[in-house]
Structure 1
Amino acid sequence: MKAMWRIPLLHLLFYCATQTFGIKIVSEPVSSEGIIDVNVTSTVSLVCHHEISSETEDDEIVWLRNGATVKLADGNKRGTSRVCVSPAITEDNGATFKCYLRKNNTLEDSVTLNVRHAPELSGSQNITVEELEELILRCDIWANPPITDLVWTLNDTRVDLLAGGFTISEDGYTSQLRISLVKESVHKGTYKCLAEGNYSKLFYVTVTESTMKFPVYPIIAAGVVVFFTLLLAFVSRWQKITKCCR
């Protein structure tokens, strides 16, 4: 009775093996459950192996990147096909590479890139703002993995949102520190945007006295209105004078 079950079981195992291992992507760095972790600017090597049989010996390997066909050289399509990503850039994060047989696309394998990159936080910036004006400081915090620890400081002390009138907002790409009405006694100094304790950017803020803003555009608009009013009045008066002289 056991012998009767062995033959169908062997056929089933052989079928599963051909479906699973008929085509396989081997990567450097090595993937884990179809995910390849790599740092930005690094190189990723992908090799698609196909176990050639009598039924598939004339078939070609096809590569896709996010559904778009990757162009291959003629000698890079049969048996073993190689694709290289060099260097990996931030736009490669989440990109899925798939290889399959052109005539039998049920034989396929795929991997997805997880490109790690730090936020572009460095350097310093000098800013001059007048009292009672609005001040907005921005830091680029886009990173993979995402930033989870971000601190704004003023003169090496964490900003006091209530006492200083600060507002902080984040959207995953930038962190924004906003002050609606700047006061020299409160807001002058050195600001720091510190992410993950390792990445930072400095802002040297100088506050000057408020100056009277000359309303140029309203005055010009008022002058234009007065000019055309006087012009219409002159034309109307001139018409009356000409009528009297006839």
Structure 2
Amino acid sequence: MKVLVCLTLLILCCVSHVKVVTIQSCPMAAGSFIQTKVEETVTLTCVNDVSMDPSNQHELQWYRNGALVDLKEENRLNRSSLCIQPVSREDNLAIFTCQLKNDASMNNSIKLDVQFPPDLNGTEEMFVEETSNVALSCHVHANPPVTVSWKRDGELLDLTTGSYKTTNNGITTQLTIPKIKRDVHQGLYTCEAHSDVYGIMNKTFKVTVEDKVLKFPLGPTIAGLVVVVCTIVIAIISRRNQIKECCKHN
């Protein structure tokens, strides 16, 4: 019994001297995640268990995704604050780690969950030649992810007809129209993103189909002209004597 008590006291004694690094945050974290939005501010404060003892000064370090953050000297000892302002899309899923400089095993981390809408707005005007292949692209990267639909002149596109092809990799969605035809495809196309957080956002493409322009075969034409000119020059040179005699008589 005495042995058990001694072991318990020894364990408690060891635990009480372990240097624990903790991170306080505003807004408050949910576990190891902080949910926030673009343009907002996140404040992180790193503290270790000896911060109240002036005789124990421990330097703290901050890392963002493994890269050391430059801190002022007065913001390193025992208590260190980091301000992310304003929060951007690039901060989504960024991991911020605080650790003791002289003991990297004493650390704590927190990850940002940044909500942001897709970058969709405005109207883009497109003039395309008939029978050409056309691609309409929308940037739909968002957190949380959005669902996307395509419309033509306000009506949902039937993507089963083979007249259209769509792709979506979570970053960009694209509508492809192979061999576009004026009577079938000309009109207003809308890329529409649906979000439970941000509602409905869209971008419009005004597609005008023009007559196909017959492209002038410039290369072969130039080659042909060169041949003709060379032939004329050679003919003149070969008959220069006859031309001289003709000129004398005149």
TM-score (norm 2): 0.81
RMSD, matched Cα: 2.8
Counterpart among 19, 28, 33 of residue 31 in structure 2: 33
Q: Aligned residue for 2:165?
A: 167
Distance 1:56 1:164, change over 3 A: farther
**Distance in structure 2 (CA, Å) of the matches to 1:79 and 1:145:** 36
Q: Aligned residue for 2:186?
A: 188
Are the equivalent residues in 2 in contact too, given 1:164–1:187 (CA < 8 A)?
no
Q: Which amino acid in 2 is paired with 1:154? A: R
Give runs of aligned pairs for residues 10-29 of structure 1, distance below 5 A: 10-16=9-15, 18-19=17-18, 22-29=20-27
Q: Aligned residue for 1:155?
A: 153
**Distance in structure 2 (CA, Å) of the matches to 1:85 and 1:150:** 31
**Distance in structure 2 (CA, Å) of the matches to 1:237 and 1:125:** 58
**Distance in structure 1 (CA, Å) of the matches to 2:42 and 2:87:** 7
**Distance in structure 1 (CA, Å) of the matches to 2:111 and 2:55:** 26
1:81 Cα deviation from its structure 2 partner: 0.7
- Gap runs ≥5 in structure 2: 242-250
**Distance in structure 2 (CA, Å) of the matches to 1:51 and 1:131:** 72
**Distance in structure 2 (CA, Å) of the matches to 1:163 and 1:65:** 49
1:25 Cα deviation from its structure 2 partner: 0.8
Q: Aligned residue for 2:116?
A: 117
Distance 1:55 1:235, change over 3 A: farther
Distance 1:187 1:107, change over 3 A: same
* Number of residue pairs the alignment of both structures matches: 236
**Distance in structure 2 (CA, Å) of the matches to 1:100 and 1:55:** 19
Deviations 1:202-240 (A, max 9, x none): 2222334x243231xx33443235415752785599589
Q: Does 1:213 align with 2:223?
A: no
**Distance in structure 2 (CA, Å) of the matches to 1:139 and 1:77:** 44
Q: Aligned residue for 1:87?
A: 86
% same residue: 29
Q: Aligned residue for 1:52?
A: 50
Are the equivalent residues in 1 in contact too, given 2:131–2:212 (CA < 8 A)?
no
1:39 Cα deviation from its structure 2 partner: 0.7
Deviations 1:110-157 (A, max 9, x none): 11212221101122222333332322211111112223x211111222
**Distance in structure 1 (CA, Å) of the matches to 2:213 and 2:106:** 74
Q: Aligned residue for 2:5?
A: 6
TM-score (norm 1): 0.83
**Distance in structure 2 (CA, Å) of the matches to 1:75 and 1:137:** 53
Could you tell which deviates more after superposition, 128-137 or 82-91? 128-137
Are the equivalent residues in 1 in contact too, given 2:128–2:134 (CA < 8 A)?
yes
Q: Aligned residue for 2:41?
A: 43
- Gap runs ≥5 in structure 1: none
**Distance in structure 1 (CA, Å) of the matches to 2:205 and 2:32:** 43
**Distance in structure 2 (CA, Å) of the matches to 1:175 and 1:203:** 14
**Distance in structure 1 (CA, Å) of the matches to 2:192 and 2:15:** 52
**Distance in structure 1 (CA, Å) of the matches to 2:104 and 2:215:** 72
Distance 1:232 1:186, change over 3 A: closer
